[in-house]
Structure 1
Amino acid sequence: MDRTHAFVDESGNSGLDTSKGGSSGFFIVCAILVAEKDLDAAYAQAEELRKRHFQTGEIKSSNLKVKDADRRARILNELAELPFKLFFTVVDKGRIHKDGGLRIKTSFIKYVNGLLYERLFRAYPDLQMIVDEHGGQEFQESLKSYVAARFIDDLFGDKDAFQTMASKDNVLVQVADFFAGSVAQIYEKKASEEAVLAYKKILRDLTLGMLEWPSKYQTLLLPPTDESGYADYQVHQEALRQADLFSERVGEHPDEDERLQLSILRFLRFQSEFVTKDYVPTAEIVAHLKDSGFGDINDQRIRSSGIAKLRDSDVIITSAAKG
């Protein structure tokens, strides 16, 4: 498998007391994933966009106010033309125990970012990751040791596997910041309904997965009030619960088929919660798996080694002729 490059940045702060002024309700971590063959083009196109929209400054979400939704959507649309995919971790700080170990900033940063790192290093055996800097040099070294101990066996044998870098020195880390900040506006309910729809439309085809933590069995939409619609909603809640239970059962060391099943499941979950369309065509699953490092996989393997085995494990997946 060719090398994949990940560029990671965040939106939000680590404080768990969300009632304090200026404290975010959510902490969003975004990874930009670029194939080795597309790296030079991604850097060049991102730099052109930075100069066009931000002149001498960084591509930074906080430089745009909530009222600048049209400008944000234009920039997101232009960024969507770059050769990359996205993966997010979304942490609801209001659901974390405020007296636990995560109240300490360094522990919070390591653990929450680790939720993302774990999935990426598991999905991409040959991965180079560059993350925005946190704190001083001592913390940078402790973060590297934390990642090495938990997610990859030979990190110190490859000096490029995990690096920290100031966002001002890497335009693709800046792109991660912009997407993280845009998703934060959705979760923090700061953006208008029209803006949310525009942002989601852009994110739909770029996003490989979105991990919400702590796990919760609810969509981003309110439950329907009519009886039949509410029944469908309840089935969807149970499907989400079974999906999480399956992920927990598989654990940290899935075999090849289980990796396939997890990748399909995360994609379907993202589509059902974030995109809210009725069915996902098989062709979109094929494209997602290719972007996730599985290479060329045919429909038969998706059905037999993926969907069928998920159903055998009590995961609720419906299908129809159109998807």
Structure 2
Amino acid sequence: MCDSSNLDNFWKFNINPFLNSFRLLYCHQNRRNISYFTRSFKSVNRKFAFIDESGDNGLNFSKSGTHFLVTAVIVNESDYDAVEKGTLKLRSHYFRGGELKSSKIGKNAKKRKDILKDISGLKVRVFTVAIDKRHLVSKGFKYKKSFYKYIHRILDSELIKVFEELTISSDSYGDAEFMEGFQAYIKKHHPPDLFNNFNFKFEGSKSNTFLQLADFICGSIGRVYNSNDDDSDKSQYIEILKPVLILIYHWPPRYEKYINDLKDSGHIFNEIITDVSCRIALNYISAWSSTTDQVKKYQVECLKYLLFNFYINPDKYISTKELIRHLSPLESDTIKPTTFRLQVMAKLRDQGVLVASNERGFKIPTTEKDCLNFIETSNKTIAPMLTRIQRFRNSILLATNGQFDVLGPSQFSYLKKVFDDI
């Protein structure tokens, strides 16, 4: 019989060295030169994240801008070659084979939009953290390490915990301190095991087209938040990227700014409805952000995405298909529409979260019409069901001479009251 100490020693001296050697081999060799043996053991869920930053940690906003952004371009291993080919095609078409960089486009909004449209057709997903430095009032955030550590925590909670297998690459010529700190943070909080495996690479962007892609996307999103130029097209950049955009995580998650923006723009909305809808959604996200329950994770991510869309277009309804696509990184299999409706949307509403809906999809309610849309959509299902129940009940009452009421049992007392009051 094998006791626990022998089992621990076997794991320590036999299994762990193999796993560590395996990971080192994968991390330090070029992807195209990895042995067939190593590739055969890689998880089908492995993804690559290429990270770039825009802005800096400075709190002098006139010089450094008001926001610091970190963008991760995520690529499935199965799509790696196709995305690389598509990115090289972009370089050839727009940059004559040169480096794909946001700074090379500058104020040329038309060319930037054309490139972003082509990028939105690639099989990539984009996640961005946008930190509004104006709210970093604590003196501790004046120090770069404290500032970066806070962002590391956000990236960990929003990105790392979603994926089991992730290779993270960053430009070695960028802010090495930020990525080295992130690497140390992940190693400390996520020691490698059979279920989690994170690798880090520092490469020159000139030789890595994926890092160039991250640079262009991050730089374009950064112009939306930090550019002082008279760029009337910049509000369109995020909308163009929507097909590949997982989320832009705004910190702090304050919706009041967006309500004020709506006021300033003369947008028609109901401030009370908007305020209570956003507040309830944010409270729910805060309460369940650390949950390990898969359904709760779906609900939290769904709300984050609806809030994100409220920030960029408060009038737009988001289709079920788009919401399911957004949730797909959390699960290897695509969520079924029925599961989404019953386990995600219905359960959110059961908890008092306010979500409007119509035939086009779902949104955070901002107007009286949004609220009525939800009631109208629900009424299309509820009214026919009530009519069927009423007819069924009446037929049985008539046939039994009033001796048997199908709504008599106590569990149907609320329905009985509804019909008796009609």
Q: TM-score range by the shorter chain?
A: 0.7 to 0.9
Bigger share in helix: 2
Q: Which residue of 1 aligns with 2:131?
A: 91
Q: Which residue of 2 aligns with 1:12?
A: 55
More moved, 185-194 vs 295-304: 185-194
CA distance in 1, matches of 2:160, 2:179: 19
* Shift in alpha-carbon separation, 1:246–1:254, aligned structure 2, 3 A: farther
Q: Which residue of 1 aligns with 2:120?
A: 80
Alignment of 1:150-299 (within 5 A): 150=189, 152-154=190-192, 161-188=199-226, 190=228, 194-218=232-256, 219=258, 222-224=261-263, 229-231=268-270, 233-299=271-337
Higher RCO (CA < 8 A, seq sep 6+): 1
Q: Which has the larger radius of gyration?
A: 2
TM-score normalised by L of structure 2: 0.67
CA distance in 1, matches of 2:188, 2:332: 26
More moved, 124-133 vs 205-214: 124-133
TM-score normalised by L of structure 1: 0.86
Q: Tell me if the contact between 2:125 and 2:244 (Cα under 8 Å) persists in the aligned partners.
A: yes
What SS class does the counterpart of residue 30 from structure 1 fall into? strand
Q: Which residue of 1 aligns with 2:144?
A: 105
* Residue 115 (1) aligns with residue 151 (2): no
CA distance in 2, matches of 1:310, 1:163: 39
* Residue 50 (1) aligns with residue 91 (2): yes
* Residue 127 (1) aligns with residue 170 (2): no
**1:306 Cα deviation after fit:** 0.7
What SS class does the counterpart of residue 268 from structure 2 fall into? helix
**1:176 Cα deviation after fit:** 1.3
* Shift in alpha-carbon separation, 1:56–1:220, aligned structure 2, 3 A: farther
* Shift in alpha-carbon separation, 1:2–1:228, aligned structure 2, 3 A: closer
Alignment of 1:14-33 (within 5 A): 14-19=57-62, 22-33=63-74
Please tell me the residue identity of whatever aligns with 2:55: G
CA distance in 2, matches of 1:80, 1:157: 31
What do residues 57-94 of structure 1 show as CA deviations (whole Å, max 9, x unaligned)? 4322122222x111111111122221111111111111
**1:184 Cα deviation after fit:** 1.5
What do residues 184-232 of structure 1 show as CA deviations (whole Å, max 9, x unaligned)? 211235465641343133122221111101221143872247999342x
More moved, 52-61 vs 85-94: 52-61
Q: Tell me if the contact between 1:34 and 1:83 (Cα under 8 Å) persists in the aligned partners.
A: yes
* Shift in alpha-carbon separation, 1:117–1:50, aligned structure 2, 3 A: farther
Please tell me the residue identity of whatever aligns with 1:77: K
What SS class does the counterpart of residue 319 from structure 1 fall into? strand
* Shift in alpha-carbon separation, 1:12–1:95, aligned structure 2, 3 A: same
Gap regions ≥5 residues in structure 1: none
Q: Tell me if the contact between 1:96 and 1:214 (Cα under 8 Å) persists in the aligned partners.
A: no
Gap regions ≥5 residues in structure 2: 1-43, 362-422
CA distance in 2, matches of 1:49, 1:80: 12
**1:23 Cα deviation after fit:** 1.2
What do residues 150-184 of structure 1 show as CA deviations (whole Å, max 9, x unaligned)? 3x331799876233333233211221111111112
